Structure 1
Amino acid sequence: MSVRILALVGSLRAGSHNRQLAEAAVKIAPAGTDVQLYEGIVDVPFYNEDIDVEGSVPAAAAELREAVARADALLLVAPEYNGTMPAVLKNAIDWLSRPFGAGAIAGKPVAVIGTAYGQYGGVWAQDEARKAAGIAGGAVLEDVKLAIPGSVTRFAELHPVEDAEVTTALTAVIERLAEAGSAA
């Protein structure tokens, strides 16, 4: 049986380098591992406990929860916006954390990766995403990291899947996440 990894990308821009990184993960997933890019994150409303009521949860939020529940593991791909993770990714984590203690992310292996223009590759955003996912109940793989600096120049004419260094590191991340997902 294939290990299912669901990738959530914190950038909504079609040409995002972080989206391209997630696309690379889909393409290079080793045999026995299925990485799927979740497309519905843009439609999830901001978390509001008043609308998170059993029987009337917004469809986009319910679909996100169901997709994560079906996955064996999560790959969060976090760009860095003003030194932290983007609101769309934090919002997804918030929806996945509920109901408290039993949300779709509870106990789910989570790895966080990303790329950014700066010299550190978005490590602040990735650290914040790890923190939020862990508090939400995810089993964050703290030692599984991939921060790629200089995205604007590095990927100006090259898709991440065409970068041997990136695909080697990304493959290692997917393998570790798949290992954790198969054990969960």
Structure 2
Amino acid sequence: MALLAAMRTFWAQGYEGTSVQDLVEATGVNKPSLYSTFGCKEEIFREAVALYDRVEGRATSLSLSQASTSREAVETMLRSNARAYTVDEGPRGCMIVLSSLLGAPENERVRAFLAANRLDGETMLRDRLAQGVAEGDLPSSADVDQLAAFYTTVLEGLSVQARDGASAEKLNMVIDAAMLAWPGE
């Protein structure tokens, strides 16, 4: 599948680090066909991000939707992503976090697209935390905006640590510390 190959290439090399020639080589699709199928590099990237969200983003969405409490949802989200970020096959870390944090001014639309994607994740987490307040498993005094921002930052930091070579054990140590910040009654 060409899009999967493109996704893995962007994930490993970042948006700016991936050339159209890299995509041609990874997908096995010649340049004219690549452009006629996907359009420009940015459109290929956007489709690759959508695929990443559907495939790799499941760890987060399932954790948040299937956990019985908000604390379980957050901890499961962090630990399942830590496992996913440190697998031996494929790139380490999160494509959404790592593929275009910095870059040339002409790629600002790509950075804005990824920032909006990350904000959507924080919003999804905030909504789950608000559900926890409504259901009584999170104190009503809890600041769900603050908690969502904090645990999103932890999640993004785990991605950077994983890309730098951190082990799953180290990431879980960070998660243990982050869960100490969970609000009490």
If the length of structure 2 is used for normalisation, what is the TM-score? 0.27
**Larger Cα-atom Rg:** 2
Q: More relative contact order in 1 or in 2 (CA 8 Å, sep 6+)?
A: 1
Larger helix proportion, structure 1 or 2? 2
